[in-house]
Chains A and B, each alone.
Chain A
Amino acid sequence: MIELRNVSKYYGEKKAVDNLSFSVKEGQIFGFLGPNGAGKTTSMKMMIGLLRPSEGNILLDGLDVWKNRKEVHQQIGVVFENPNLYLKSSIKANLKLFADIYGVKSSRILEVMDRLQLTDKQNEKVGNLSKGWRQRVLIGRALLHNPKILFLDEPTSGLDPNTTALIRNYIKDINENGTTIVLTTHDMHEADELSHYVGIMYNGRLAAVDTTEQLKGKYAKDTVYVKYMEDNQMIEKELPSGTKETELFLNDLIAKGAIKDLRNKESTLAEVFSAVTGGELS
Chain B
Amino acid sequence: MKKMLVLGKNEIREIILSPAIAVIILPIFMSKVIGYAMESAGVEFLLLSVWILFAEVMVGIMLTGPNLIEEREGKTLDALLVTPLNFAQIAISKGLTILLFSMLSQIFVFIINRGFDGRLLSLLIPMLLGGLLFVEIGMVLGLIVNSSKNGSAISAAVMVVLFLIVSIYLSLPEWTYKFLVFLPSIEVTEVISNIMDGNGVPVLEAILMGAWILVLTSWISIIGKKRY
Binding site for B on A (CB under 8 A): 48-50, 69-70, 73-74, 76, 78, 80, 82, 84-89, 93, 97-98, 100-103, 141
How many A-B residue pairs lie within 8 Å, measured between CB atoms? Answer: 60
**Could you list 21 A-B pairs, sorted by A, with CB under 8 Å?**
A49-B82, A50-B228, A69-B86, A70-B84, A70-B86, A73-B82, A78-B79, A80-B78, A80-B79, A82-B75, A84-B76, A84-B79, A86-B10, A86-B76, A89-B10, A93-B10, A93-B13, A101-B7, A103-B2, A103-B3, A141-B79
> Which of A69, A80, A102, A141 contacts B75 (CB under 8 A)?
A80
Which residues from B are CB-within-8-Å of A97?
Answer: 6-7, 10
Q: Which residue from chain A places its CB closest to the CB of B82 in the assembled complex?
A: A78
Q: Give the interface SS of chain B, mostly helix, strand, loop or mixed.
A: helix
The CA-CA distance from A35 to B50 in the complex, in Å, is 56
Which residues from B are CB-within-8-Å of A98?
Answer: 79, 83
The CA-CA distance from A76 to B84 in the complex, in Å, is 10
The CA-CA distance from A102 to B228 in the complex, in Å, is 20
- Distance in angstroms from B169 CB to nearest chain A CB is 39
Q: Which residue from chain A places its CB closest to the CB of B18 in the assembled complex?
A: A88
| B13 pairs with A89, CB closer than 8 A | yes
Name, among B6, B14, B17, B79, the residue most crowded by chain A CB atoms within 10 Å (CB to CB).
B79
The CA-CA distance from A97 to B10 in the complex, in Å, is 7
Which residues from A are CB-within-8-Å of B81?
Answer: 50
| A74 pairs with B17, CB closer than 8 A | no
A74-B84, A97-B6 are known contacts; what are 12 more A-B pairs with Cβ within 8 Å? Answer: A50-B78, A80-B75, A82-B75, A84-B74, A84-B78, A88-B14, A89-B10, A89-B13, A100-B3, A101-B7, A101-B80, A101-B83
Which residues from A are CB-within-8-Å of B10?
Answer: 86, 89, 93, 97
The CA-CA distance from A141 to B78 in the complex, in Å, is 13
The CA-CA distance from A86 to B14 in the complex, in Å, is 8
The CA-CA distance from A78 to B82 in the complex, in Å, is 7
Which residues from B are CB-within-8-Å of A85?
Answer: 76, 79
| A76 pairs with B82, CB closer than 8 A | yes
> Which of B7, B14, B85 contacts A89 (CB under 8 A)?
B14
In the complex, chain B residues 164-220 whose Cβ is within 8 Å of any chain A Cβ: none
The CA-CA distance from A86 to B67 in the complex, in Å, is 12
The CA-CA distance from A85 to B75 in the complex, in Å, is 8
In the complex, chain B residues 1-37 whose Cβ is within 8 Å of any chain A Cβ: 2-3, 6-7, 10, 13-14, 17-18
| A73 pairs with B84, CB closer than 8 A | yes
The CA-CA distance from A141 to B18 in the complex, in Å, is 23
| A48 pairs with B17, CB closer than 8 A | no
The CA-CA distance from A94 to B8 in the complex, in Å, is 14
- Distance in angstroms from B198 CB to nearest chain A CB is 45
| B74 pairs with A82, CB closer than 8 A | yes
| A48 pairs with B82, CB closer than 8 A | yes
- Distance in angstroms from A205 CB to nearest chain B CB is 25
In the complex, chain B residues 28-58 whose Cβ is within 8 Å of any chain A Cβ: none
Which residues from B are CB-within-8-Å of A103?
Answer: 2-3
Which residues from A are CB-within-8-Å of B228?
Answer: 50
Which residues from B are CB-within-8-Å of A100?
Answer: 3, 6
Which residues from A are CB-within-8-Å of B75?
Answer: 80, 82, 84
- Distance in angstroms from A193 CB to nearest chain B CB is 26
| B82 pairs with A50, CB closer than 8 A | yes
Q: Which residue from chain A places its CB closest to the CB of B74 in the assembled complex?
A: A84
| A89 pairs with B17, CB closer than 8 A | yes
Which residues from B are CB-within-8-Å of A88?
Answer: 14, 17-18
Q: Which residue from chain B places its CB closest to the CB of A69 in the assembled complex?
A: B86
Which residues from A are CB-within-8-Å of B83?
Answer: 73, 98, 101-102
